Amino acid sequence: MLVVSIILEAAVAVIAVLAAAQGRRPYLYGLAFTFAAYVLYDLARLMHWAVEGPALSWLFLIATVTALIAVVGLWRDRGNR
């Protein structure tokens, strides 16, 4: 199940980068970062890497902030249509 999750998270990150690279929605890079962080965390779990608590907490805090920015960007973009 974890491998499937990693594949799906990586797919979301790649698609978000491709969409953001088109130039119309740069806030999607935040969504890509968030899912890349999820991939990193899940890979660490799968490979039994030692992931320190504070570093992981900061990573998830930054990922949450970037996801919030992406969602606000999506919301604003929807309002302009």
List CB contacts of 45: < 8 A, sequence separation 6 or more. 2
pTM: 0.85
As a whole number, mean pLDDT of residues 3-24 equals: 95
At residue 81 the predicted structure's pLDDT band, cuts being 50, 70 and 90, is low
Question: Any idea how long the chain is?
Answer: 81
**Cα(66)–Cα(45) distance, integer angstroms:** 23
In whole angstroms, how far apart are CA 64 and each of 4, 31, 34, 81?
A: 22, 9, 7, 26
Q: pLDDT tens for residues 17-57?
A: 999 999 888 999 999 999 999 999 899 889 988 877 788 88
**Cα(32)–Cα(66) distance, integer angstroms:** 9
